[in-house]
């Protein structure tokens, strides 16, 4: 195979990728996510936007992937994520803290219910078995995450649910932070460190 023949498919693939990116930016219908955190990673990837931690972060949450204690209110939900650098390379051994409201919109402010942390694996992956958070006054449903890599700056952000009517009324909400949801009980996100 000549060098020219070998390079042609790659060039076409790059062009296709460019077209996909162009179509993904401002032309989507309302409610269709510009799922920057959720789609496959295309380098160079924009850093995931930082968001406020809000008033409910408590340091020292236990290391655990299952937050679904027996008496937790809310529908079971699995949050799967991947942490990458701007070249889409995996970021391993980073600490990922998750904290959230329960299905009724209530935080545990005394202990560590619906709070935990994990370390990303060699592929940058992490997963929490939890419940879908409810809305509370002024806020559309969201997860809070804080990512602390071994090197570099901490990222504090939030993740949101597509199709929530409260998204448009929440001044903190950003469509770039919408989860991809293959089904109602599973959300996925790719988080890009700056
Ligand atoms: Fe919150």
Cα 177 from chain centre: 6
In the chain (194 residues long), the average pLDDT of successive 10-residue segments reads 42 37 35 52 94 97 96 97 96 98 97 98 98 97 98 96 97 96 95 95
Of 140, 124, 47, 17, residue with least CA distance to 81:
124
CA of 134 to the centre of ligand 1 (A): 10
CA of 94 to the centre of ligand 1 (A): 22
Alpha-carbon distance of 125 to 147, in angstroms, equals: 12
Looking at the 3D structure of the chain, how many domains does it have? 1
Alpha-carbon distance of 159 to 72, in angstroms, equals: 20
Of 132, 129, 188, 186, residue with least CA distance to 164:
132
Alpha-carbon distance of 194 to 190, in angstroms, equals: 13
- Count CA atoms closer than 13 A to 89's CA, side-chain side: 3
With residue 20 as reference, give the H or E element that holds it: helix 3-24
CA of 21 to the centre of ligand 1 (A): 31
Give the pLDDT of residue 40.
Answer: 83
Write out the residue range of the structural domain in which residue 164 sits: 3-192
Give the pLDDT of residue 70.
Answer: 87
Give the pLDDT of residue 39.
Answer: 63
| Residues having C-beta closer than 5 Å to ion ligand 1 | 54
CA of 28 to the centre of ligand 1 (A): 27
CA of 101 to the centre of ligand 1 (A): 7
Contacts of 55 (CB under 8 A, 6+ apart): none
CATH of the domain at 71: 2.60.130.10
Give the pLDDT of residue 175.
Answer: 95
pTM: 0.81
Give the pLDDT of residue 116.
Answer: 98
- Phi first, then psi, for residue 189 (nearest 5°) are -145, 145
- Count CA atoms closer than 13 A to 118's CA, side-chain side: 22
For 75, other C-beta atoms within 10 Å of its C-beta total 11
């Amino acid at each position: 195979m000549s060098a020219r023949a070998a390079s042609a498919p790659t060039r076409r693939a790059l062009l296709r990728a460019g077209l996909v990116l162009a179509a993904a930016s401002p032309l989507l219908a309302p409610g269709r996510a510009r799922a920057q955190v959720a789609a496959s990673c295309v380098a160079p990837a924009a850093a995931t936007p930082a968001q406020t931690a809000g008033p409910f972060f408590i340091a020292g949450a236990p290391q655990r992937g299952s937050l679904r204690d027996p008496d937790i209110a809310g529908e079971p939900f699995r949050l799967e994520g991947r942490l990458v650098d701007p070249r889409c390379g995996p970021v391993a051994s980073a600490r990922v803290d998750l904290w959230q409201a329960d299905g009724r919109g209530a935080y545990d402010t005394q202990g560590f219910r619906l709070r935990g942390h994990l370390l990303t694996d060699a592929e940058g992956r992490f997963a929490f078995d939890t419940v879908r958070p409810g809305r509370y006054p002024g806020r559309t449903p969201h997860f809070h995450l804080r990512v602390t890599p071994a090197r570099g700056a901490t990222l504090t952000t939030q993740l949101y649910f597509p199709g929530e009517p409260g998204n448009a009324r929440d001044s903190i909400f950003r469509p770039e932070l919408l989860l991809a949801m293959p089904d109602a009980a599973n959300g996925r996100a790719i988080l890009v460190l700056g």
